[in-house]
């Protein structure tokens, strides 16, 4: 799933240099590889019991969590208005940061246990929480203060903000602990431009006596421990020597935090399965027009067979099921449920009716299904007709690719030629098209069943035209990790009578036959399927004989997986890192390609192939690319001019050869679509915003139709809807989005803009951005060293209203409730000059009672009244009010020694 969109095109060398350069400006967190390594290393060994068996996070789940962690350091740090210190434990925002951890932890649990589970969103929230948690150790002086263990309060309670006057920045922030003075605190990230002159180091914005987050240049030494002191100094600034200790504690805190969530979910097998693995949605889209009368029974029976087996086996359980029915002219909304019985009941209600002409609204139905499905889902469409709305095929492909959704098609009719929308939809999302007679629909279970395991990976995929007659030999290495093999040859042309002959040979040379105990052979109207249980390792051979075009796939259930192939750009955050561009790559330019491998592979080499399997050149990808996730392969490539796929080959851990082919077809396009400005949009309910995209034509003169949509219907207009572009010409498209007044806080919707060349539907590109509803903005508790003065020091108690003194504000105008958390003072409660104790009261209320008292031989007494302000909608902040009792009349303020004693003790 795309995490960023493409920014204004610059030469690749400049992009890479920029990524490496910004990594040296480590401002908000441990650098990207450290965050990712901590997350992966600590989560990978964790286990939970599901249905009596121990399970851990899958590789894909770890990838999603690590990516969400990385995304917290986003391009939005370019803007002061969008910088969120509570996400990074910076700017002394301890109350808001710790409240964020509590809220995200609860969200993870609620998303995993909800009636309609959302595993992908739960993992996203978990990654976000881990980033904030890890930042506490990188951005506070917890280590400097001599702590050797983790702060167990994080994730369990709300921490008060450091007192405004309690910490003064010493000359060397690296000693900001007991020896250097000060209590627990964090420094300030101020100045949001990416220039080296002012990056995070704006002295005009730095509160008096506070530390820079810093470490960007000699004049901006800071407290952060993002990079290790053992590495090379950056900008002539040696890195913080406390980095190793901070990273060690961040690792332990990560483990404890996630283990606590797993403990809370213990016993809820479905919730644990949703969190630990990428299950996605198992979706069905069914044409129920009158002409499907002879097919509906088979469709219903097949879906029931699939759902019954899945429901009986938690190992196969998806996040949820989905059903969309459609006819002509109506398209049903998506029915989403976790309940297998509820889905079977909905499917039983399908009844063929209406129609009358061949084409139906299949693309609109698919958009409904894709939008309602979770990311990384599989959707199966059953129809006997072409698409009446084939003009929406690029929207379908773009939306499916943005969510990592695979589209498969079971076609039972021949009222018109096979629609290119189905062929492209399958090819460009990694799915398949099957031609079947209505009576053969149940046979599709043979191909669907291996996909339910969640580990079915493509070994070889070919699209070959045998012309007037001939044969094709396909070789497929089967390594030691392959537990099941599926070979499929499909013909999508209308003339299926000619057929193709399929023969499969074992490594021994023996041909597979229907009588073999480990083999399952199925013949369809438009193809043949062969499934092999527990295939022997070695090179298998597939022979296809016939004439005309066919598609052949060899897939294996295996833990070795070419999990992702992305075209990436520097992620835009201040630590480096890379994120996928939106849409297809642009033709005629070099691009950065990132590949993610999973499982017990020993090595990996990459290359391009065309749809027929012909080699198109090598792809030089390396691990540990500067500022990138060290587990990924990344490198520069000149992209092929024809549609292509990416292949990985190498040896498994047993030194046997493997091959994995990423199933998605990529088309380098002459059109580039880029999001102008920030990579995300936040909307309050009832608000409207305009998102600007730039569309650039790198090809010949042409006219493009422009469409935008999103899952929740926030998109209200697209201007213009048509573009006539000369070679090299750029135009702006503005998309207006609006959140309804009753929009739910945290709801998000991906707006996808698609531009398609008129008359050439295969020439198109897209870009996307996420719109998130921010129904409530929490209050802000400002830091202040100003003292409310009490005089004379006669020992009397003074009533103080924290509501009046705090200065907290709420951007939504919500009324705030104040609660006093603690009242502290810098002189002992019992000492010289004391008349009585306690010296203050009011904990739990909004009124403090504070004694006008100070030591006669001291420099005045300072009270710190710590409070929490909340808006009754989940937003809260913590702050403190300073009260001074000066030594003498006329003194401007009492002198704060930095010590703290509980004023409420007897």
A 10 A CB-CB count for 216 gives 26
Round to whole Å and give the CA distance between 899 and 16. Answer: 49
Q: What is the pLDDT of residue 21?
A: 41
Averaging pLDDT over each range in 3-17, 18-32, 192-206, 481-495, which range is the top one?
Answer: 481-495
Strands in 558-604 per DSSP E: 561-570, 578-580, 590-598
A 10 A CB-CB count for 517 gives 5
For the domain with range 279-454, which CATH number is right: 3.40.50.720, 3.40.50.410, 1.10.20.140, 3.40.50.620?
3.40.50.410
Round to whole Å and give the CA distance between 422 and 721. Answer: 25
Q: Which residues contact 674 (CB under 8 A, 6 or more apart)?
A: 5, 6, 7, 8, 9, 693, 694, 696, 767
Higher pLDDT, 161 or 822: 822
The angle, 0 to 180 degrees and rounded to 10, between the axes of the packed helices 269-276 and 94-113 is: 120
By three-state DSSP, how is residue 442 classified? helix
Retrieve residue 802's tokens: 């924290």
pLDDT band at 322 (very low <50, low <70, confident <90, very high): very high
Q: Which residues contact 547 (CB under 8 A, 6 or more apart)?
A: 466, 467, 468, 469, 470, 498
CA nearest 899: which of 867, 863, 866? 863
Round to whole Å and give the CA distance between 297 and 282. Answer: 20
Mean pLDDT, the chain, rounded, equals 84
Residue 126 has pLDDT above 80, yes or no: yes
Q: What is the pLDDT of residue 422?
A: 92
Q: What is the pLDDT of residue 200?
A: 65
Q: What is the pLDDT of residue 831?
A: 75
Round to whole Å and give the CA distance between 252 and 245. Answer: 11
Q: Which residues pair with 751 in a beta bridge?
A: 769
Mean pLDDT of the 384-400 span: 91
pLDDT digits (tens, 9 = 90+) for 686-741: 889 999 999 999 999 999 999 999 989 999 999 999 999 999 999 999 999 999 98
β-pairing verdict for 817-825 and 335-337? unpaired
Mean pLDDT of the 341-361 span: 87
Query: How far, in Å, are 98, 135, 287, 655 from residue 140 at the CA level?
Result: 13, 8, 58, 47
Same fold for the domain at 456-558 and the one at 561-661? no
Residue 307 has pLDDT above 70, yes or no: yes
Q: Which residues pair with 666 in a beta bridge?
A: 644
Domain ranges across the chain: 27-273, 279-454, 456-558, 561-661, 671-773, 787-902
Mean pLDDT of the 252-269 span: 96
Averaging pLDDT over each range in 202-216, 323-337, 435-449, which range is the top one?
Answer: 323-337
Round to whole Å and give the CA distance between 112 and 99. Answer: 20
Cis peptide before 470 (omega within 30 of 0): no
Least confident of 116-120, 612-616, 861-865: 116-120
CATH 2.70.98.10 is held by the domain 456-558 = no
CA nearest 57: which of 67, 71, 43? 43
Q: Which residues pair with 544 in a beta bridge?
A: 472, 502
Q: What is the pLDDT of residue 814?
A: 86
By three-state DSSP, how is residue 38 classified? helix
Q: What is the pLDDT of residue 684?
A: 84
pLDDT digits (tens, 9 = 90+) for 413-466: 755 567 889 989 998 898 988 888 888 888 888 888 888 877 899 999 999 989
pLDDT band at 171 (very low <50, low <70, confident <90, very high): low
Residue 683 has pLDDT above 90, yes or no: no
CA nearest 269: which of 46, 45, 48, 121? 48
What dihedral do alpha carbons 871, 876, 878, 882 form, nearest 10°?
-10
Q: What is the pLDDT of residue 776?
A: 77
CATH 2.60.40 is held by the domain 561-661 = yes
Sign of the alpha-carbon dihedral angle for 582, 368, 421, 300? positive
Round to whole Å and give the CA distance between 555 and 564. Answer: 16
DSSP assignment of 339-377:
-HHHHHHHHHT-------SS-B-HHHHHHHHHHHSPSS-
Q: What is the pLDDT of residue 906?
A: 83
User: Are residues 287 and 382 in contact, defined by beta-carbon separation less than 8 angstroms?
Assistant: yes
Least confident of 7-21, 517-531, 816-830: 7-21
Round to whole Å and give the CA distance between 703 and 699. Answer: 11
A 10 A CB-CB count for 366 gives 32
User: Are residues 629 and 32 in contact, defined by beta-carbon separation less than 8 angstroms?
Assistant: yes
Q: What is the pLDDT of residue 731?
A: 96
Higher pLDDT, 476 or 626: 476
Retrieve residue 744's tokens: 């739910």
pLDDT digits (tens, 9 = 90+) for 78-118: 344 456 788 888 888 888 888 889 989 999 999 999 877 78
Residue 745 has pLDDT above 90, yes or no: no
pLDDT band at 195 (very low <50, low <70, confident <90, very high): very low
Q: What is the pLDDT of residue 227?
A: 62
Round to whole Å and give the CA distance between 81 and 95. Answer: 20
By three-state DSSP, how is residue 657 classified? strand
Residue 499 has pLDDT above 70, yes or no: no
Query: How far, in Å, are 156, 358, 529, 840, 903 from residue 822 at the CA level?
Result: 18, 74, 71, 10, 8
- For residue 295, the surrounding DSSP H or E stretch is helix 293-312
For the domain with range 787-902, which CATH number is right: 2.60.40, 1.10.1740, 2.40.50, 3.40.50?
2.60.40
Sign of the alpha-carbon dihedral angle for 538, 606, 374, 756? negative
Q: What is the pLDDT of residue 19?
A: 43
Sign of the alpha-carbon dihedral angle for 313, 305, 366, 775? negative
Dmax over CA atoms of the chain, in Å, equals 108
- For residue 422, the surrounding DSSP H or E stretch is helix 420-427
pLDDT digits (tens, 9 = 90+) for 28-39: 345 557 788 899
Least confident of 564-578, 661-675, 852-866: 564-578
Q: What is the pLDDT of residue 705?
A: 96
DSSP assignment of 875-904:
-EEEEEEEEEE-SSTT-SSPPP-S--EETT
Averaging pLDDT over each range in 157-171, 207-221, 639-653, which range is the top one?
Answer: 639-653
How many residues comprise the chain?
906
CATH 1.10.10.60 is held by the domain 671-773 = no
pLDDT band at 329 (very low <50, low <70, confident <90, very high): confident
User: Are residues 568 and 592 in contact, defined by beta-carbon separation less than 8 angstroms?
Assistant: yes
Residue 20 has pLDDT above 50, yes or no: no
Round to whole Å and give the CA distance between 596 and 107. Answer: 28
Residue 350 has pLDDT above 60, yes or no: yes
Least confident of 530-534, 572-576, 898-902: 572-576
What dihedral do alpha carbons 450, 451, 457, 458 form, nearest 10°?
90
By three-state DSSP, how is residue 866 classified? strand
Q: What is the pLDDT of residue 486?
A: 95
Q: What is the pLDDT of residue 83?
A: 66
pLDDT band at 11 (very low <50, low <70, confident <90, very high): very low
User: Are residues 227 and 138 in contact, defined by beta-carbon separation less than 8 angstroms?
Assistant: no
Q: Which residues contact 459 (CB under 8 A, 6 or more apart)?
A: 476, 477, 478, 554, 555, 556, 659, 660, 661
Averaging pLDDT over each range in 65-69, 701-705, 777-781, which range is the top one?
Answer: 701-705
Retrieve residue 253's tokens: 């805190």
Round to whole Å and give the CA distance between 498 and 871. Answer: 71
Q: What is the pLDDT of residue 891?
A: 66
Proportion of the chain above pLDDT 70, given as a percent: 86
Mean pLDDT of the 495-517 span: 85
The DSSP symbol for 440 reads G
Residue 214 has pLDDT above 60, yes or no: yes
Query: Tokens 């509590």 label which residue?
Result: 102
A 10 A CB-CB count for 888 gives 10
Residue 835 has pLDDT above 90, yes or no: no
Mean pLDDT of the 266-273 span: 90
Cis peptide before 26 (omega within 30 of 0): no
Q: What is the pLDDT of residue 568?
A: 85
Q: What is the pTM of this model?
A: 0.76
Q: Which residues contact 596 (CB under 8 A, 6 or more apart)?
A: 63, 562, 563, 564, 565, 566, 631, 632, 633
Query: Tokens 């938690």 label which residue?
Result: 314
């Amino acid at each position: 799933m795309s995490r960023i969109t493409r920014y204004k095109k610059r030469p690749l060398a400049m992009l890479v240099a920029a990524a490496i350069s910004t990594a040296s400006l480590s401002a908000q967190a441990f650098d990207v590889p450290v965050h990712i390594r901590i997350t992966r290393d600590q989560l990978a060994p964790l286990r939970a019991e599901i249905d009596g068996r121990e399970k851990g996070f899958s590789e894909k789940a770890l990838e999603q969590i690590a990516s969400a962690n990385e995304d917290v350091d986003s391009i939005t740090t370019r803007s002061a208005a969008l910088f969120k210190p509570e996400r990074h434990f910076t700017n002394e925002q301890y109350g808001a940061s710790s409240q964020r951890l509590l809220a995200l932890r609860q969200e993870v649990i609620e998303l995993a246990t909800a009636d309609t589970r959302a595993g992908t969103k739960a993992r996203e929230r978990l990654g976000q929480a881990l980033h904030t948690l890890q930042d506490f150790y990188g951005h506070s002086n917890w280590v400097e203060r001599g702590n050797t263990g983790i702060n167990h309060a994080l994730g369990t309670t709300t921490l008060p903000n450091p007192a405004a006057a309690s910490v003064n920045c010493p000359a060397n922030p690296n000693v900001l602990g007991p020896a250097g003075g000060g209590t627990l605190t964090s420094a300030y990230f101020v100045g949001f431009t990416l220039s080296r002159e002012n990056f995070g180091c704006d002295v005009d914005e730095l509160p008096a006596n506070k530390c820079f987050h810093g470490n960007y240049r000699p004049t901006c030494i800071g407290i952060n421990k993002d990079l290790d002191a053992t590495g090379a100094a950056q900008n002539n600034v040696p890195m913080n020597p406390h980095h190793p200790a901070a990273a060690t504690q961040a690792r332990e805190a990560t483990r404890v935090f996630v283990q606590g969530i797993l403990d809370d979910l213990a016993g809820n097998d479905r919730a644990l399965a949703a969190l630990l693995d990428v299950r996605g949605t198992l979706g069905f889209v069914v044409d129920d027009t009158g002409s499907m009368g002879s097919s509906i029974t088979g469709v219903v029976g097949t879906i029931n067979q699939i759902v019954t087996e899945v429901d009986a086996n938690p190992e196969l359980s998806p996040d949820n099921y989905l059903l969309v029915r459609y006819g002509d002219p109506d398209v049903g909304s998506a029915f989403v449920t976790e309940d297998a019985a509820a889905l079977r009941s909905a499917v039983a209600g399908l009844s063929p009716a209406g129609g009358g002409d061949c084409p139906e609204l299949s693309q609109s139905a698919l958009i409904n299904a894709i939008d309602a499905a979770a990311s990384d889902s599989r959707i199966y469409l059953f129809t006997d007709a072409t698409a009446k709305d084939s003009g929406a095929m690029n929207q379908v492909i773009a939306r499916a690719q943005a969510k990592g959704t695979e589209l498969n098609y079971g076609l039972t009719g021949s009222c018109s030629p096979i629609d290119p929308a189905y062929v492209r939809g399958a090819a460009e999302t990694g799915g398949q098209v099957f031609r079947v007679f209505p009576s053969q629909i149940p046979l599709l279970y043979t191909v669907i069943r291996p996909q339910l395991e969640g580990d079915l990976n493509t070994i070889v995929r070919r699209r070959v035209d045998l012309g007037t007659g001939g044969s094709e030999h396909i070789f497929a290495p089967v390594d030691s990790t392959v537990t099941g093999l599926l070979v499929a040859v499909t013909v999508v042309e209308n003339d299926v009578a000619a057929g193709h002959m399929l023969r499969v040979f074992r490594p021994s040379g023996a041909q597979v036959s229907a009588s073999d105990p480990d083999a399952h052979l199925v013949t369809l109207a438009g193809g043949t399927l062969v499934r092999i249980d527990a295939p022997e390792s070695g090179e298998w051979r597939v022979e296809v004989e016939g004439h005309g075009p066919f598609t052949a796939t060899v897939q294996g259930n295996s833990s070795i997986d070419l999990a992702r192939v992305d075209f990436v750009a520097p992620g835009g955050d201040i630590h480096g890192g890379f994120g996928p561009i939106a849409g297809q790559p642009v033709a005629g330019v070099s691009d950065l390609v990132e590949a993610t491998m999973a499982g017990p592979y020993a090595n990996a080499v990459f290359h391009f192939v065309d749809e027929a399997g012909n080699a198109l050149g090598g792809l030089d990808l390396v691990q540990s690319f500067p500022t990138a996730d060290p587990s990924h392969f990344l490198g520069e490539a000149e992209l092929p001019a024809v549609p292509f796929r990416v292949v990985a080959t190498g040896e498994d851990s047993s030194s046997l050869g493997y091959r994995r082919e990423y199933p998605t077809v990529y088309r380098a396009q002459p059109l580039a679509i880029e999001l102008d400005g920030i990579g995300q949009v936040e909307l309050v309910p009832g608000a409207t915003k305009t998102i600007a995209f730039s569309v650039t034509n790198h090809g010949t003169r042409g006219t493009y139709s422009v469409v935008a949509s999103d899952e929740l219907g926030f998109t209200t207009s697209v201007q213009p809807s048509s573009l006539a572009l000369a070679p090299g010409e750029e135009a702006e498209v503005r998309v207006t989005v609006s959140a309804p007044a009753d929009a739910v806080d945290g709801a998000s919707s991906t707006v996808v803009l698609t531009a398609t060349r008129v008359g050439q539907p295969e020439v198109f590109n897209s870009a996307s951005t996420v719109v998130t509803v921010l129904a409530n903005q929490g209050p802000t508790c400002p830091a202040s060293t100003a003292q409310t003065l009490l005089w004379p020091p006669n020992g009397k108690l003074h009533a103080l209203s924290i509501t009046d003194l705090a200065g907290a504000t709420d951007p939504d105008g919500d009324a705030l409730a104040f609660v006093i958390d603690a009242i502290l003072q810098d002189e002992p409660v019992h000492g010289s000059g004391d008349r009585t104790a306690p010296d203050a009261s009011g904990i739990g209320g909004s009124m403090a009672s504070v004694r006008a008292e100070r030591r006669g031989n001291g420099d005045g007494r300072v009270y710190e009244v710590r409070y929490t302000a909340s808006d009754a909608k989940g937003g809260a902040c913590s702050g403190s009010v300073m009260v001074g009792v000066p030594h003498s009349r006329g003194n401007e303020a009492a002198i704060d020694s930095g010590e703290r004693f509980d004023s409420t003790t007897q």
